[in-house]
Every structure is written in C-alpha cells, then in structure tokens.
C-alpha cells in the first residue's frame, strides 16, 4: 500500500482538472471511484490557490469532466469544487 513512489506513467500535465475536497477521506474514496470507472486520477498536495480546505486534492483528466461530475453526484461525494487548473 505504501511501496516505493511509483514512477507514475501518468504525466500530470495531461490531467488538467483538479477536484478539491474538505477532508482526505473523501479525496481518497473519489480516487478509487474514478479509477474504477477507468478515469485517470492522481492525488496531489492541495494547491493553496484553489482551496485551503484539505491537504489533498485529486488531479483528473479534464476531457472527462462531464463523466466525473456525474459520478460525483451519483455517489453523493462530499467535495468542494471542480477546477480547471493545469500544471504550472
């Protein structure tokens, strides 16, 4: 579960969307939810510019924003907001 840091094949620059959360429980559950639905998602330190609310945020493939938002709603996920926030 901890492992060595994965040399993530996913390039964060390809994941331009960020979901911000109030608490880490929900961020981690959402990571699983998106992955189970075949949507690339990576947990990142929550960018301060977006939200001070939680230490962890979730980067995802912005091109699939529509699916992501409907999954969040369908699963009653407690999230703060969905942002377009490309890697700087």
Partner 1 sequence: MRLQVRAMRTIYFDNAATSWPKPKSVLRAMSDFFLRGGGNPGRSGHGRSIGAARVVVRTREQLAGMFNVRESSRIVFTKNATEALNIAIYGLAEEGKGIVTTSMEHNSVMRPLTYLRNRGYEITAIKGDGTGRVNPEAVARAVREDTNLVIVTHASNVTGTVNDIGAIGSMCRERGVSFLVDAAQTAGVIPIDVEEMKVDFLAFSGHKGLLGPQGTGGLYIGKDQLQLPLMRGGTGSLSDREEQPDFFPDRFESGTLNVVGIAGLGAGIEYVMKRGIESISGHDETILGIFIEELSGDGRFVLYGPFANIRGDGCGASACRMVQTGVLSLNIAGVSPSRVGQVLDREYAIQTRIGLHCAPSAHRTIGTFPDGTVRLSWGPFTKKGDVRHAVRALRSIADRYAELQ
* In the complex, least distance from residue 24 CB atom to partner 1, rounded to whole angstroms: 3
Cβ nearer to partner 1, comparing 3 with 66: 3
Starting at the edge strand found earlier in the chain, the sheet holding 17-21 runs: 41-45, 56-60, 17-21, 79-84
Residues between 29 and 88 that touch partner 1 (CB under 8 A): 29, 43-46, 52-57, 76, 78
Nearest to 61 by CA among 82, 79, 78, 76: 82
Helix, strand or coil, per DSSP, at residue 15: coil
In the complex, the residues that contact partner 1 under the rule CB under 8 A are 1-3, 5, 21-29, 43-46, 52-57, 76, 78
């Amino acid at each position: 579960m901890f492992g060595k840091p994965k040399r993530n094949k996913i390039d964060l620059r390809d994941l331009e969307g960020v979901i911000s959360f109030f608490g880490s429980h929900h961020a981690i559950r959402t990571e699983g939810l998106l992955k189970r639905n075949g949507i690339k998602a990576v947990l990142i330190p929550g960018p301060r510019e977006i939200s001070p609310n939680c230490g962890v945020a979730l980067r995802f493939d912005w091109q699939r924003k529509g699916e992501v938002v409907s999954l969040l709603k369908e699963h009653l996920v407690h999230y703060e907001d969905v942002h377009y926030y490309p890697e700087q």
